[in-house]
Amino acid sequence: MPSLKWAVLAASASLLVACGGSNEGTPNGAIAYNPATGDAAIYVNATTEGQARSEAVRNCGTTACDVVLTFSGDGVCGAIALSANGVIGVAKDDSDAEAEVGAVTNCQAKGGSSCYIPAAVRGDCNG
């Protein structure tokens, strides 16, 4: 019976590789945010999640920025909403407008007051 388990594992691993078990070639995005300054940045169409993360932090302006959302897939969009009382919301969806609505809703659900999408960091999409 142990050899059957190994055969199933080997077949599963082969299938995972054959079906694209990695996200190589899939566009990736990330949003970084600095709670101390309120600065935020979004980066889309990176070749890897790591690149999306590092570019979002770099574009945010300081290493004090934290990645608050990652998203991958062609046409997948991300957004961040900020609030007057320091609460943030993030969301990903199939359009930038839907992601922005989701981010505002997420912000409000967490107790954010007057949640808004910052003009400098509008929702953006891969692809």
**Using one digit for the tens of pLDDT, what is the confidence trace for 33-63?**
999 999 999 999 999 999 999 999 999 988 8
Stated pTM of the model: 0.80
Residue 10 lies in a domain: no
Residue 107 lies in a domain: yes
Domain count for the chain: 1
Give residue 24's pLDDT band: very low, low, confident or very high (50, 70, 90): low
Residue 12 lies in a domain: no
Give the pLDDT mean for 80-94.
Answer: 96
Does the pLDDT value for residue 71 go beyond 70? yes
- Least reliable range by pLDDT among 59-63, 99-103, 108-112: 59-63
Rounded-to-integer distance, Cα 113 and Cα 97, Å: 20
In total, the chain counts a number of residues equal to 127
DSSP H or E stretch at residue 108: helix 96-109
Q: Which domain holds residue 45?
A: 23-125
Residue 1 lies in a domain: no
Residue 17 lies in a domain: no
Residue 68 lies in a domain: yes
